Amino acid sequence: QVQLQQSGPGLVKPSQTLSLTCVISGDSVSSNSAAWNWVRQSPSRGLEWLGRTFYRSKWYSDYDPSVKSRMTITPDTSKNQFSLQMNSMTPEDTAVYFCARVIGGYTSGWFDSWGQGTLVTVSS
Amino acid sequence: DIQMTQSPSSLSASVGDRVTITCRASRSISGYLNWYQQRPGKAPHLLIYTSFNLQSGVPSRFSGGGSGTYFTLTISSLQPEDLGTYYCQQSYSAPLTFGGGTKVEIK
pLDDT tens per residue across span A17-27: 999 999 999 99
Q: Which of A22, A56, A27 is nearest to A38 (CA)?
A: A22
Q: What is the C-alpha to C-alpha distance for residues A5 and A116, in angstroms, rounded to an integer?
A: 7
Q: Does B2 touch chain A (CB under 8 A)?
A: no
What tens-digit pLDDT sequence spans chain A (124 residues)?
999 999 999 999 999 999 999 999 999 999 999 999 999 999 999 999 999 999 999 999 999 999 999 999 999 999 999 999 999 999 999 999 999 999 998 778 999 999 999 999 999 9
- A116 contacts on B by Cβ (under 8 Å): 43
Where are any strands of DSSP class E within B39-94? 45-49, 53-54, 62-67, 70-75, 84-90
Q: A47 and B96: CB-CB below 8 Å?
A: no
pLDDT the model gives residue B51: 97
- A107 contacts on B by Cβ (under 8 Å): 91-94
Task: Find which of A36, A40, A110 to mutate to test the B interface (most B CBs within 10 Å of its CB).
Answer: A110
Q: B98 and A49: CB-CB below 8 Å?
A: yes
Q: What is the C-alpha to C-alpha distance for residues B92 and A107, in angstroms, rounded to an integer?
A: 7
3-state secondary structure of B82: helix
Residues A107, A120, A5, CA angle at the centre, nearest 5°? Answer: 60
Of the partner residues B42, B92, B98, the one whose CB lies closest to the CB of residue A46: B98
pLDDT band at B93 (very low <50, low <70, confident <90, very high): very high
The average pLDDT across B24-38 equals 98
Q: A114 and B89: CB-CB below 8 Å?
A: no
Closest CA in chain B for residue A64? B95
pLDDT band at B22 (very low <50, low <70, confident <90, very high): very high
Q: Is the alpha carbon torsion for A87, A93, A96, A102 positive or negative? A: negative
3-state helix, strand, coil in chain B (%, to 5): 5, 50, 45
pLDDT band at B35 (very low <50, low <70, confident <90, very high): very high
pLDDT at position B26 over 80: yes
pLDDT the model gives residue B68: 98
pLDDT the model gives residue A105: 80
Virtual torsion, Cα A37, A111, A40, B68, nearest 10 deg: 110
Find residue B97's DSSP bridge partners. A48, B90
pLDDT at position B84 over 80: yes
- B93 contacts on A by Cβ (under 8 Å): 107
Of the partner residues B46, B94, B101, the one whose CB lies closest to the CB of residue A62: B94
Closest CA in chain B for residue A101? B46
Counting runs of H as helices and runs of E as strands, what totals does chain A give?
Answer: 0, 11
Q: Which helix H or strand E contains A41, and what residues bound it?
A: strand A34-42
Of the partner residues A98, A108, A110, the one whose CB lies closest to the CB of residue B46: A110
- B42 contacts on A by Cβ (under 8 Å): 117
Q: What is the C-alpha to C-alpha distance for residues A104 and B49, in angstroms, rounded to an integer?
A: 9
Q: What is the C-alpha to C-alpha distance for residues B44 and A115, in angstroms, rounded to an integer?
A: 10
Of the partner residues B44, B98, B100, the one whose CB lies closest to the CB of residue A114: B44
pLDDT the model gives residue B56: 97
pLDDT the model gives residue A107: 75
Are A49 and A111 in contact by the 8 Å Cβ rule? The answer is no
